[in-house]
């Protein structure tokens, strides 16, 4: 791991072909723009061909206003944000998210012969459950997913979702609102995971035989993504703790949605480099 007190070092990266996998930047440094050249260098690093592997750019912040986040996003700069103080579990989660997505992104950027799979082909034919207690939100979320070719069903509560997700079910993924009355998204997810682990244990006991003669999954684990209006302050840890696989912004933002579903609905790519 290399450290730099200012942006000058990044020029060196390009010239000496040192290729960082990831650059962690302290938000206040970047946004203060004192060393204005640093900003430009970050963007050069990403956009020109000097580095073969485009590094992932992560902002570290103790606090971040919506405004600052918008600035970072607009600069094409921040792949993700990690809130300080740094916690090992949070870093692990971010690394996983950023690196696994990163490989796919690079496949698209570095190998123009392999166009990125459009979101429509990722979601086409997939059966998705949208859980939200607000009818307007359900309708909008369903509309977006249907446009991308998914087969969508909706549930207006955690309780309804649990009924629909009794095993065996035929859903490929679930988008779950977090704040709902009676049973919130975290609780609903915990119960779904509990149900799955019970079934999985049973299957192991039965020597891996089928349930009810229907198509058997080797192990039940349905992708569950939280839908949250507040991506920055979203409790990523809480999402992971209860068994969610990630979160997406609400309302959907296409790039964000793409990256989230690409993890589940695309085969694992070969590593870009052997370093």
Give the residue from 160, 219, 215, 218 showing the smallest Cα distance to 191.
160
Judged by CB, which is closer to another protein: 144, or 192? 144
Would you call 150 helix, strand, or coil by DSSP? coil
| In the complex, minimum distance from the CB of residue 267 to another protein, in angstroms, rounded to a whole number | 28
Can you tell me which of 33, 76, 118, 143 binds another protein, judged by CB under 8 A?
A: 143
Can you tell me which of 27, 104, 126, 250 binds another protein, judged by CB under 8 A?
A: 250
Would you call 240 helix, strand, or coil by DSSP? helix
Judged by CB, which is closer to another protein: 165, or 227? 227
Distance CA(133)–CA(251), nearest Å, equals 14
Judged by CB, which is closer to another protein: 167, or 180? 180
Q: At which residue do the structure tokens 């359900």 appear? A: 138
| In the complex, minimum distance from the CB of residue 133 to another protein, in angstroms, rounded to a whole number | 8
| In the complex, minimum distance from the CB of residue 141 to another protein, in angstroms, rounded to a whole number | 8
Judged by CB, which is closer to another protein: 148, or 236? 148
Q: Does 179 bind another protein (CB under 8 A)?
A: yes
| In the complex, minimum distance from the CB of residue 137 to another protein, in angstroms, rounded to a whole number | 5
Tokens representing 187?
Answer: 């609780």
List residues bridging with 175 in a β-sheet.
130, 225
Q: What is the 3-state secondary structure (H, E, C) of 24-82?
A: EEEHHHHHHCCCHHHHHHHHHHHHCCCCCCCCEEEEEECCCCHHHHHHHHHCCCCCEEE
- Say how far residue 235 (Cα) sits from the centre of its chain: 13
Q: Does 251 bind another protein (CB under 8 A)?
A: yes
| # residues contacting another protein (CB under 8 A) | 17
Tokens representing 90?
Answer: 């949070």
Judged by CB, which is closer to another protein: 86, or 135? 135
Q: At which residue do the structure tokens 């629909």 appear? A: 164
Site string for another protein, 112-141 (x = CB under 8 A): ---------------------xxxxx-xxx
Q: Which residues bind another protein (CB under 8 A)?
A: 133-137, 139-141, 143-144, 146-147, 179, 181, 229, 250-251
């Amino acid at each position: 791991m290399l450290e730099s007190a200012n942006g000058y070092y990044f020029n060196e990266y390009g010239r000496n072909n040192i290729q960082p996998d990831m650059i962690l930047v302290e938000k206040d440094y970047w946004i203060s723009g004192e060393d204005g050249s640093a900003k430009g260098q970050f963007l050069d690093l990403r956009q020109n061909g000097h580095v073969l592997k485009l590094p992932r750019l992560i902002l570290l912040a103790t606090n971040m206003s919506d405004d600052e986040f918008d600035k970072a996003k607009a600069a094409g700069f921040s792949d993700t944000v990690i809130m300080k103080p740094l916690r090992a579990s949070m870093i692990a989660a971010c690394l996983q998210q950023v690196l696994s997505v990163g490989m796919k992104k690079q496949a698209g950027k570095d190998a123009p012969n392999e166009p990125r799979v459009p979101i429509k082909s990722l979601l086409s034919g997939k059966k998705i459950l949208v859980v939200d207690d607000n009818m307007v939100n359900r309708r909008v979320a369903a509309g977006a997913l249907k446009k991308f070719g998914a087969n969508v069903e909706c549930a207006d509560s955690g309780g309804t979702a649990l009924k629909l997700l009794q095993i065996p079910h035929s859903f490929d993924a679930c988008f779950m609102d977090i704040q709902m009355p009676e049973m919130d998204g975290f609780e609903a997810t915990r119960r779904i995971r509990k149900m799955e682990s019970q079934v999985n244990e049973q299957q192991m006991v039965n020597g891996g035989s089928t349930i009810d003669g229907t198509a058997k999954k080797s192990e039940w684990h349905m992708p569950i993504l939280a839908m949250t209006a507040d991506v920055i302050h979203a409790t990523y840890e809480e999402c992971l703790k209860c068994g969610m696989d990630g979160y997406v912004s609400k309302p959907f933002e296409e790039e964000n949605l793409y990256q989230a579903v690409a993890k589940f609905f695309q085969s694992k790519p070969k590593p870009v480099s052997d370093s």
